[in-house]
Structure 1
Amino acid sequence: MPTFAAADGTALAYRVLGAGIGDPVVCLPGGPMRAGAYLGDLGGLAAHRPLLALDLRGTGESAEPADPATYRCDRQVADVEALRAHLGADRLELLGHSAGASLAVKYAAAHPHRIGRLALITPSARSLALDPSPGERRLAVARRSAESWFPEVSLAYEAIANRHATSADWAAVAPLYYGRWDAAAKAHHATEAVQRNGKAARVYNSEGAFDPLRTRAGLAGVTAPVLVLAGALDWITPPGVASAVAALFPDAALEVQPGASHYPWVDDPAAFTATVAKFLA
């Protein structure tokens, strides 16, 4: 895999996928702190545009930093800027998924003139202080009440909402992340344990990582087109929250993918690719 040096000397790796036309779309993975491999080719999007999937520091093929404090989301903005300089690009076509969208948003707020297009896929809203309330998430969970797995998942969600969840509770809610808890979803989910740096994840969203008021102010200067794609069934970022994220940008469009949850390219690759490829064209 190609590598480049971050400002602090940490060697960071990325993979380039696809033979589509145009500059690569830089993809920032979520997790938080999950190796970019879980993005795959984003449901076939790589056939339309080359994708450059970054392994954040300490994940995948990227090296662990000397200072673990640099796992914090705001500290990794400099890594994205170092990648831009490494590519020799004046502007980035940037895509962030979930917690990776927090990093994409912070980069855009800090460097608005470096954004060509910005796609936020089922974005975490934590960096903007727009996280849904437990009640909003409970409503999202209730939309899955017809599923055979719902009773167990519902009990596990209540433990999470009341802040006494065990690891078993978190494991039990896995079906909520997908529009269908089928073989493809189970195979995708099974890779998480080996791809995610748990130590780094605990630092990523830690105290001091976010300054929502400053970030919101910075986003007002992002004149590039922005796509916010929500899953209609997503309990992490329900469509209402995604709409509030889109409203912070001068030129943003909200798309809600029917039947999708937190990984819309797994739930319906064709629908996902059609929406995002059109935006990037």
Structure 2
Amino acid sequence: MSFSPKNIFLSFIILGGLMFVGAAGFVWWMQQQPFYTPGTLAQRTDLEPIGKTDGYWQVTKDVQLKTFATGKGRNILFIHGGPGMPLQQSAPAFDLLQNDYRINYYDQRGSGGSTHPFIRFPVERDKWSNAQQLESKLGIAQQLADIERVRRLLGDDKLILVGHSNGALLAALYAAEFPDNVDKLVLLTPADILVAPSKNPDLYAVIRENLPKREQKAYDKWLRRYTDTEQIFKDDEATLQTVDAGLIPYVEKAFGKDVFKNQSVLPTDQFGSWQTRAQSFSLGTTHDWRAALANVTADTLIIHGGNDFDPLTVSKQYANAIPKAKVEQIDSAGHFPHINNAQELSSKMRTFLKN
């Protein structure tokens, strides 16, 4: 497996929260079945949004999503990765499409400049009740519901939906929940979470292997804190954000300062730390959602990076599950082709969207 140091940094931060469920120490968490069940959204009656304000989509009376857009033409809705790590600026690959398309970006609920519903949870209440409340507000089902609410705000009968990493899973699940509402689907380096547990390597172990030996003890201490089941609901979000951001210096030491090249790092106080944990509950530790993706009717393009930390088999797993899907590889790409491989990706997307 090859790794691109320029692209790997945010991969660990972004996928880090999802890797909770595989890390040592989450005995209680690991016993949980997924809170999310595919095929449960279409019958909901709370999908009508409130409206738009300057720079925000008001999706419910108590949740607004920060948004910005570039370009003109037909709408593209971009679903960022993470969970909880929205882009801070437009992506170079999408900038090359802006003469023909309007690219709509937003921070998912619980992250960035969007509504963060929780500061802390009652420590005297049992973990199960806290977990249910957290997941019901920030988990996968609500993220998918928000995509539907945004579609209605955009006024599109059918979306062009582009999802990256964890956002690719959300985009695919939305297209499965609402097949009539998606025209074209693009999945960029989709996260290895369609089936759990995964057979692929633990990324935290990869970081440790690349750290100088003198740093490994401190890293192990950080990882124990990060995966301490007893701390799940004892901290407020600011504390969790600081803990989550603690991974950054270890990634620098493991892969070099250039790991930040071409990346705008999200400020610590905008990390979606509760959102990360909510979606971990949504995922559980054992699920297989490939059958659900058989409902997707949209033409689907899956982009795999030749230098991505996930193997090609992950992208093929999505492609085999989605009826009208194809995989195209960008050999020089890591996990962020929309940031670091603008020309190649925009060319592939333009051809796909026009066919």
Contact 2:162 2:171 in 1 (8 A): yes
- The separation in 2 between residues aligned to 1:205 and 1:198, in whole angstroms, is 11
- The separation in 2 between residues aligned to 1:92 and 1:127, in whole angstroms, is 22
Give the partner amino acid of 1:152: L
Give the partner amino acid of 2:181: R
Q: Relative to 1, partners in 2 of residues 1:53 and 1:173: Cα closer, same or farther, differing over 3 Å?
A: same
Among the aligned pairs, what percent are the same residue? Answer: 25
Q: Relative to 1, partners in 2 of residues 1:202 and 1:9: Cα closer, same or farther, differing over 3 Å?
A: same
Q: Rg bigger for which structure?
A: 2
Q: Relative to 1, partners in 2 of residues 1:36 and 1:188: Cα closer, same or farther, differing over 3 Å?
A: closer
Structure 1 equivalent of residue 75 of structure 2: 24
Structure 2 equivalent of residue 111 of structure 1: 178
Contact 1:259 1:267 in 2 (8 A): no
- The separation in 2 between residues aligned to 1:279 and 1:210, in whole angstroms, is 35
- The separation in 1 between residues aligned to 2:352 and 2:63, in whole angstroms, is 33
- The separation in 1 between residues aligned to 2:263 and 2:201, in whole angstroms, is 26
Cα offset for 1:202?
A: 1.8
Q: Relative to 1, partners in 2 of residues 1:238 and 1:40: Cα closer, same or farther, differing over 3 Å?
A: same
Q: For structure 1, which segment, 243-252 or 62-71, has the greater mean C-alpha deviation from structure 2 after superposition?
A: 62-71
Aligned pair partner of 1:51 in 103, 115, 126: 103
Structure 1 residues 111-155: Cα deviation after superposition (integer angstroms, max 9, x where no partner)? 1111101111111131443745217x69xx69xxxxxxx943899
Structure 2, gaps ≥5 residues long = 1-53, 119-132, 227-242
Contact 2:66 2:113 in 1 (8 A): yes
Structure 2 equivalent of residue 250 of structure 1: 323
After TM superposition, the score normalised by the length of structure 1 is 0.77
Between the two structures, name the one with larger relative contact order (CA 8 Å, sep ≥ 6): 2
- The separation in 2 between residues aligned to 1:7 and 1:212, in whole angstroms, is 29
Contact 2:91 2:338 in 1 (8 A): no
Cα offset for 1:27?
A: 0.4
Give the partner amino acid of 2:276: A
Structure 2 equivalent of residue 14 of structure 1: 67
Structure 1, gaps ≥5 residues long = 143-149
**Match status 1:229 vs 2:300:** no
Cα offset for 1:186?
A: 2.9
Give the partner amino acid of 1:90: D
- The separation in 2 between residues aligned to 1:38 and 1:239, in whole angstroms, is 28
Give the partner amino acid of 1:279: F
Structure 1 residues 159-182: Cα deviation after superposition (integer angstroms, max 9, x where no partner)? 89xx769776664336999xx974
Matches within 5 A, 1:261-276: 261-276=334-349
Aligned pair partner of 2:138 in 71, 74, 84: 71
Aligned pair partner of 1:93 in 142, 146, 160: 160
Contact 1:17 1:46 in 2 (8 A): no
- The separation in 1 between residues aligned to 2:285 and 2:159, in whole angstroms, is 22
Alignment length, in residue pairs? 261
Matches within 5 A, 1:197-208: 197-207=272-282
Matches within 5 A, 1:113-132: 113-129=180-196, 131-132=198-199
- The separation in 2 between residues aligned to 1:176 and 1:74, in whole angstroms, is 35
Give the partner amino acid of 1:268: N
